[in-house]
Amino acid sequence: MTAYSGSCLCGAVAFEADAPLREVIACHCTQCRRTSGHYWAATSVPLERFRLTRDEGLAWFRSSPGARRGFCRLCGASLFWAPEGEARISIAAGAFDGPTGLRIAAHWHPEDAGDYYAPAGPPPPPDPDPPAVLQAACLCGACRFTLPGPAGEITACHCRQCRKLSGHYTASFDAVEATVSWQARDALAEYATPGGGRRGFCTGCGSSLYFRAGDGAFSVEAGAIEGRTGGRLADHIFVAEKGDWYDIDDGLPQSAAW
């Protein structure tokens, strides 16, 4: 029997899952977009074929009466979705250490997709009346901030680090950090990445919020924005490291690295 292994980015949560794994489902609901920073993609396996091999960083957030979301409280990686009363667990495709051999089989809640992309095909045309102020928040509401809009060009990143943290791949836009106005951040934490950057996330629900590069460049996760972003997905970077469970088929420019 084939065993797949995976972990969060910092390694404080690790797991194994025995084959076969369900094909991947991409979910565009507001909860999945808020926690992952873009949209979430996950496989699923019965609990009898799932094992936690390290759980020092594991935390759970009850996102609805019927389900909990598992994440790493140290690096903020979005890892699991566990429905109540069912002997199964959903696992982020991006959490696996190697190739999955899986494919995206369905897109759920496409009607809830962000305004900056389309679940299939090219993104929508630019917003003719973009918002002047953007409202951002984590899923539980413990972290909230505003910043000037619109989001403008949004970049999708497929590097291993972004895949490990988001569970799929990220989508973010550049912003001036000095213009961010915080209304709440008691649960805010930052994880220092191997490349010298810092990723901001909520320790209460695991939602991904922003990234500050080593040189001070600042970007906000598009999925953290409540309502319209006024942005448009513009390109894909680090596609040489993309996951094997999806294709990039929106016709936008692609770069093997930066």
Domain ranges of the chain: 3-108, 118-241
Q: Are 154 and 230 in contact (CB under 8 A)?
A: no
Q: What is the Cα–Cα distance from 14 to 30, expressed in whole angstroms? A: 26
3-108 and 118-241 agree in CATH topology: yes
* Domain covering 118-241 in this structure, CATH number: 2.170.150.70
Domain 3-108 class in CATH: mainly beta
Ordered strands of the 225-226 beta sheet = 181-185, 143-148, 133-137, 225-226
Which H or E element spans position 120? Answer: none
Q: How much is the pTM?
A: 0.96
Amino acid at 118: A
Which H or E element spans position 165? Answer: helix 160-166
21-58: per-residue pLDDT in tens?
Answer: 999 999 999 999 999 999 999 999 999 999 999 999 99
117-175: per-residue pLDDT in tens?
Answer: 999 999 999 999 999 999 999 999 999 999 999 999 999 999 999 999 999 999 999 99
Which H or E element spans position 164? Answer: helix 160-166
Enumerate the β-bridge partners of residue 221: 172
How many H-runs (helices) and E-runs (strands) does the chain carry? 2, 21
